[in-house]
């Protein structure tokens, strides 16, 4: 039943799922991007920080697990992209490192550089992490400047298999405006999700109304970049893989992928509707607070569909513009059948993990956060 | 040709991240147990004192926890960013433990640490207690999987080289998980974390005793920490002994370097410091037999025959076989599609020499000897401090049982001094383990010069200094916050 091909596709699905969950959890970053712009006074800022401060570990953990799962299932991507697009990944990591300590340290006596500095770190991570992750994912469709030569392992003097073609090491991705549009779309989405999360999680009417107004602006920004990115994706040439593994350019490849995989198209459309429902409902209806849930579920579905379009249906998911045949496909970059099968058994615990996360999350978020609760809490940010 | 400076800066960056990571992780592992025990006492006895006591140590835990996570993130991704060839060459085996660590351990930690910090008034007492234990269990499971990965780098098992995909592929997951080096390393490292946590708690508590404040809290904390610490310390000694046997068996060059042993033999002496030796002691430690044979650095380079009559190849012979394997690999890649029969013959040559494949990348036999100074002295520091800390823990437990510790100023001062020493011992242990493995990224399989990413040395140098600045700033802030929190104190004693 578990053929090698099935396992390859299964693991791409898991990676897509983790990618979807990661983008949903970027609501933490989106909310942080708003701290300095929105909090009118210290009380409001504290509410915002503490609201996401109880969830940031999930985003962090999902990022680490996303990396680990990619390493285990598609190690050639791990080695080629991380070692090649060095500056992009290092920048992403540094912003997350700054974020990791900022919650805990910002309100502590003796934090040396002051509370504002840590909030700037949070805001920096809030804007840069979605932008850079989005731009990097954009290269899954537009390609990157690298070559892979496995035979190089036999050269005792220069045995490196994957090489990047320029000294910018990934930063050149911003030269492609569509990649940037992709990144800005993710920033816009993260901000919208962050606002909707806080609207649901904070019990402070004045702040919530302010967030609803801000959601109109960020919603429009998101939709502009979403439409631009979607239009570009559906009209661009894509990196197709022939039966014998040869990579070639195909006109409207990603549009074809949607049309040839109706289930993926349905997932994409369902996700889009859910995101719009969450957004429109929160903006239009004063009593609607739970927009984060349809929008969050929709985000997971849309991102999964986009990643499935990038990798399924004979497509190179990490294409090379320097040498088409170096492009990474699900088949040529994955782990061995034995490892994928072993890892597939491990992945069966994921529903159990999700179940206890939901259980604990519900237990903690039964009541929205209030200023009174913060005043009476020992551990707060 | 791969630049030597690139290799050195990449190694420096990884070493920097690993050293910083190991500043924060042991305290997380140790404090997790101590505060969970305290909270258990609170739930059983329903005494608010124990709740406040565990909350104080949770505060210290929280300050320390975040930086551990941050450095851990960098460490995981550095396998890709700086060691890309490594990631492909052994990713099929090495990636699995990291993924499992994320799926099973990190989510457990992330979920329940939030309940532990913020759930006191939101969940039941028992649910909260379970969350505190699960936070510690998550951290321990995480340590297990990363040490499975590290143990595999010291003693690779359960894989085969596939010349078609140009990588090592896992064939026996169970062998990887139950690798004796990994299992020993797990217990050695985690329990050294218990030891660290215990010594930090005892040290801070003794500071309160010296200041004549928080006396009840300090004595109660010492009682719990001493019990946890004594288990940790004895277990570290026991697993350290097992570790010695494993190193002698699987990484004899590391042992020879750690001892500065140039010429080996039976009844090999243990060097306390240069010029002072205990005859036969190294043989006992390495083989559990005073007549056991331990090869020295020259034996390992020149080749030798052990007492059982087994011949061990010289460095040159291994390098020759490595070159043969690499040559066979190149030929195989060229002809495998055009002439499958000839390719099958070439593959036999490759398979016959595969054991020495990594030696094909070694250009000079002296590369096979790690920096002796950097292995010899840290080994002495680790063992010496380990012995001192064992004595210290036994002393603390002895006087704590007799209720005398509150009046023993000298012991309280020693406790305070022991805090930096336990960190020094832990760092020294990792220096021995990692520097002693050089030049190998994976023992006998892949040297660091073949594991590298294709980057400029300047790029890695830049990120090295960025990480130095960021990590050092975080350490300084963490220490300052921690000192302030300690000075403020838990305020749980009556009348305070």
Domain count, chain A: 1
Task: For chain B, say whether A281 makes contact (Cβ under 8 Å).
Answer: no
ipTM for the predicted complex comes to 0.93
Say whether B179 sits in a helix, a strand or coil.
coil
CA of A314 to nearest chain B CA: how many angstroms apart? Answer: 20
Is the pTM here over 0.90, yes or no?
yes
Distance between CA B177 and CA B154 in Å, rounded? 13
Test mutation, B71, B80, B462, chain A, max A CBs within 10 A: B80
Which chain B positions have a beta carbon within 8 Å of A82's beta carbon? 77, 79-81, 84, 87
Average pLDDT over residues B209-233: 96
Query: Containing domain of residue A114, as a range?
Result: 4-375
| The two structure tokens encoding residue A36 | 């300095």
| B318-343 pLDDT tens trace | 999 999 999 999 999 999 999 999 99
Residue B145 lies in a domain: yes
Cβ distance of B333 and A154 shorter than 8 Å? yes
Residue of chain B whose Cα is closest to the Cα of A158? B1
A90: nearest CB among B99, B114, B463: B463
Domain membership of residue B493 (yes or no) is no
User: pLDDT at position B25, please?
Assistant: 96
> Has residue B494 been placed in a domain?
no
- Examine the pLDDT at B494 and tell me if it is beyond 60: no
- In tens, the pLDDT along A143-168 reads 999 999 999 999 888 899 999 999 99
B336 in a structural domain: yes
Chain B residue numbers with beta carbons less than 8 Å from the beta carbon of A159 are 2, 85, 361, 450
Residue A177 lies in a domain: yes
* A149 shares contact with chain B (CB less than 8 Å): no
How many Å lie between the alpha carbon of B85 and the closest alpha carbon of chain A? 6
Q: Among B23, B110, B120, which would you mutate to test the A interface (most chain A Cβ atoms within 10 Å of its Cβ)?
A: B110
Count CB atoms within 10 A of the CB of residue A375.
10
pLDDT at A340: 96
State mean pLDDT over A72-79: 96
- Cα A135-A138-A139 angle, rounded to 5 deg: 105
Domain final residue, candidates B336, B361, B386: B361
Q: Does the pLDDT value for residue B495 go beyond 70?
A: no
List CB contacts (< 8 A) between B162 and chain A: 336
What confidence category does residue A371 fall into, taking pLDDT thresholds of 50, 70 and 90? confident
Range name among A61-70, A231-240, A303-312 with the lowest pLDDT average: A61-70
Q: Per the CB < 8 Å rule, is A363 touching B115?
A: yes
| Nearest residue in B to A78, CA atom | B80
Chain A stretch 83-102, residues whose beta carbon is closer than 8 A to a beta carbon of chain B: 83-84, 86-87, 89-90, 93-94, 96-98, 100-101
Q: Is residue A381 part of a domain?
A: no
Count of domains forming chain B: 2
pLDDT of A179-217, one tens digit each? 999 999 999 999 999 999 999 999 999 999 999 999 999
Is A380 part of a structural domain of the chain? Answer: no
The answer to whether residues B199 and B327 belong to one domain is no
Among A58, A169, A336, beta carbon nearest to B110? A58
B36 and B153: one domain?
Answer: yes
pLDDT digits (tens, 9 = 90+) for B95-112: 899 899 999 999 999 999
Q: Do residue B424 and residue B351 come from a single domain?
A: no
> Band of the pLDDT at B304, cuts 50, 70, 90?
very high
The distance of A215 to chain B (nearest Cα, Å) reads 28
Q: Mark whether B30 and B98 lie in a shared domain.
A: yes
Last residue of a domain, one of B317, B344, B361: B361
Residues B148, B99 share a domain: yes
- Mean pLDDT, residues B170-183 taken together: 97
Is residue B73, in this structure, part of any structural domain at all? yes
Q: Which residue of A has its CA nearest to B362?
A: A156
Q: What is the pLDDT of residue B1?
A: 64
- Let me know: does B201 contact B35? Beta carbons within 8 Å: no
Long-range contacts of B120-126 (CB under 8 A, 24+ apart): B120/A378, B120/B55, B121/A376, B121/A377, B122/A363, B122/A364, B122/A366, B122/A367, B123/A363, B123/A364, B125/B43, B126/B43
Whether B324 is in a domain gets the answer yes
**What are the pLDDT digits (tens) for A210-268?**
999 999 999 999 999 999 999 999 999 999 999 999 999 999 999 999 999 999 999 99
Residues B464 and B355 reside in one and the same domain = no
Question: Does residue A368 belong to any structural domain of this protein?
Answer: yes
* Domain boundaries, position B295: 265-361
Domain membership flag for residue B285:
yes
For residue B314, the SS3 value is: coil
For residue B93, the chain A residues in CB contact (below 8 A) are 339
Same domain, yes or no: B278 and B327: yes
Give the pLDDT confidence of A17-28 residue by residue, as tens digits. 999 999 999 999
**CB-based contacts of B468, cutoff 8 Å, min separation 6:** B16
Contact between chains at A98 and B450 (C-beta distance less than 8 A)? no
> In the predicted model, what is the mean pLDDT of residues B47-76?
94
* Chain centre distance of CA B491: 36
Checking if the pLDDT of B236 tops 90, the result is yes
Nearest Cα residue to B13 out of B65, B60, B79, B59:
B79
Read off the pLDDT band of A378 (50, 70, 90): confident
Give B85's contacts in chain A (Cβ within 8 Å).
79, 83, 153, 159-162
pLDDT at A236: 97
Last residue of a domain, one of B302, B326, B361: B361
Q: Out of A71, A72, A347, name the one closest to residue B80 (CB).
A: A71
- Which of B16, B48, B91, B148 is the best substitution to test chain A (most A C-beta atoms within 10 A)? B91
CA distance A183 to chain B (A): 21
| Whole-angstrom distance, CA of residue A109 vs CA of residue B484 | 7
Task: Find chain A residues with C-beta within 8 A of B173's C-beta.
Answer: 338, 342
Provide φ and ψ at A369, rounded to 5°: -75, 135
- 10 Å CB burial of residue B348 (0-12, 13-18, 19+) is exposed
Q: Is residue B200 part of a domain?
A: yes
Give the nearest partner residue to A366 out of B91, B122, B166, using CB atoms: B122
Q: What percent of chain B has pLDDT over 90?
A: 96
């Amino acid at each position: 039943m578990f053929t090698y091909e099935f396992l390859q596709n299964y693991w791409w699905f898991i990676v897509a799922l983790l990618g979807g969950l990661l983008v949903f959890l970027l609501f933490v970053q989106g909310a942080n991007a708003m701290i300095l712009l929105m909090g009118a006074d210290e009380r409001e800022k504290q509410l915002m920080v503490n609201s996401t401060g109880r969830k940031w570990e999930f985003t962090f953990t999902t990022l680490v697990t996303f990396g680990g799962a990619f390493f285990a299932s598609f190690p050639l991507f791990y080695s080629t992209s991380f070692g090649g697009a060095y500056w992009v990944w290092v920048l992403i990591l540094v912003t997350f490192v700054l974020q990791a300590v900022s919650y805990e340290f910002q309100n502590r006596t003796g934090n040396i550089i002051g509370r504002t500095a840590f909030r700037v770190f949070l805001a920096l991570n809030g804007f840069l992490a979605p932008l850079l992750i989005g731009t990097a994912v954009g290269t899954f469709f537009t390609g990157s400047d690298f070559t892979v030569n496995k035979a190089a392992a036999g050269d005792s003097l220069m045995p490196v298999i994957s090489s990047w073609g320029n000294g910018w090491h990934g930063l050149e991705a911003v030269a492609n405006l569509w990649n940037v549009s992709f990144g800005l779309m993710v920033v816009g989405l993260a901000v919208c999700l962050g606002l909707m999360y806080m609207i649901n999680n904070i019990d402070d009417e004045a702040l919530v109304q302010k967030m609803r107004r801000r959601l109109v602006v960020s919603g429009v920004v998101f939709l502009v970049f979403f439409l631009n990115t979607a239009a570009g994706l559906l009209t661009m040439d894509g990196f197709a893989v022939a039966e014998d593994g040869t990579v070639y350019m195909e006109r409207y490849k990603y549009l074809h992928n949607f049309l040839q995989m109706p289930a993926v198209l349905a997932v994409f459309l369902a996700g889009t509707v859910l995101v719009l429902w969450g957004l429109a409902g929160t903006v239009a209806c004063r009593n609607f607070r739970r927009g984060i849930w349809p929008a969050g579920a929709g985000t997971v579905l849309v991102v999964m569909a986009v990643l499935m379009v990038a990798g399924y249906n004979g497509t190179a998911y990490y294409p090379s513009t320097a040498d088409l045949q170096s492009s990474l496909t699900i088949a040529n970059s994955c782990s061995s059948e034995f490892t994928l099968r072993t890892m597939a058994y491990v992945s069966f615990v994921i529903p159990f993990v999700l179940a206890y996360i939901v259980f604990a999350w519900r237990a903690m978020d039964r009541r929205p956060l209030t200023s009174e609760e913060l005043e009476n809490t020992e551990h707060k940010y | 040709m791969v630049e030597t400076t690139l290799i050195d800066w990449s190694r420096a960056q990884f070493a920097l991240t690993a050293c910083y990571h190991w500043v924060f992780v042991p305290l997380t592992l140790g404090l997790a147990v101590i505060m969970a025990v305290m909270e258990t006492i609170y739930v059983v006895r329903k005494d608010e004192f124990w709740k406040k006591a565990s909350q104080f140590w949770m505060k210290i835990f929280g300050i320390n926890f975040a930086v551990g996570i941050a450095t851990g993130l960098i460490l995981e991704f550095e396998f890709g960013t700086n060691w890309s060839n490594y990631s492909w060459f052994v990713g099929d085996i090495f990636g699995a433990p990291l993924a499992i660590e994320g799926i099973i351990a990190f989510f457990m930690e992330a979920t329940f640490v939030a309940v532990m910090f913020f759930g006191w008034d939101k969940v039941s007492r028992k649910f909260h207690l379970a969350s505190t234990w699960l936070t510690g269990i998550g951290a321990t499971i995480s340590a297990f999987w990363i040490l499975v990965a590290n143990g595999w780098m010291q003693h690779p098992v359960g894989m085969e080289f596939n010349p078609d995909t140009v990588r090592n592929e896992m064939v026996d997951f169970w062998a990887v998980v139950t690798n004796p080096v990994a299992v020993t390393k797990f217990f050695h490292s985690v329990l050294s974390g218990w030891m660290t946590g215990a010594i930090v708690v005892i040290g801070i508590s003794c500071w309160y005793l010296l200041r004549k404040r928080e006396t009840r809290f300090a004595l109660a904390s010492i009682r719990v920490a001493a019990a946890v610490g004594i288990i940790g310390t004895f277990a570290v000694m026991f697993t350290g002994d097992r570790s010695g046997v494993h190193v002698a068996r699987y990484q004899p060059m590391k042992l020879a370097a750690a001892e500065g042993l140039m010429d080996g033999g039976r009844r090999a002496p243990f060097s306390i410091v240069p010029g002072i030796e205990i005859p036969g002691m190294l043989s006992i430690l390495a083989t559990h037999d005073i007549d056991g044979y331990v090869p020295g650095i020259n034996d390992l380079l020149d080749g030798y025959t052990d007492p059982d009559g087994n011949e061990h190849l010289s460095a040159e012979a291994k390098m020759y076989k490595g070159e043969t394997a690499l040559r066979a690999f190149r030929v195989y890649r060229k002809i495998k599609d055009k002439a499958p029969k000839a390719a099958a013959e070439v593959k036999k040559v490759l398979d016959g020499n595969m054991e020495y494949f990594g030696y094909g990348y070694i250009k000079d036999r002296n590369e096979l000897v790690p920096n002796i100074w950097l292995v010899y002295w840290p080994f002495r520091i680790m063992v010496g401090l380990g012995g001192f800390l064992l004595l210290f823990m036994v002393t603390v437990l002895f006087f704590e049982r007799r209720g005398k510790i509150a009046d023993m100023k000298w012991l309280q001062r020693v406790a305070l001094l022991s805090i930096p020493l336990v960190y020094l011992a832990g760092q020294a242990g990792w220096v021995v383990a990692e520097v002693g493995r050089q030049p190998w990224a994976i023992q006998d399989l892949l040297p660091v010069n073949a594991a590298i990413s294709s980057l400029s040395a300047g790029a890695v140098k830049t990120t090295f200094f960025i990480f130095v600045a960021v990590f050092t700033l975080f350490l300084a802030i963490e220490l300052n916050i921690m000192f302030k929190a300690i000075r403020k104190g838990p305020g749980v004693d009556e009348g305070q």
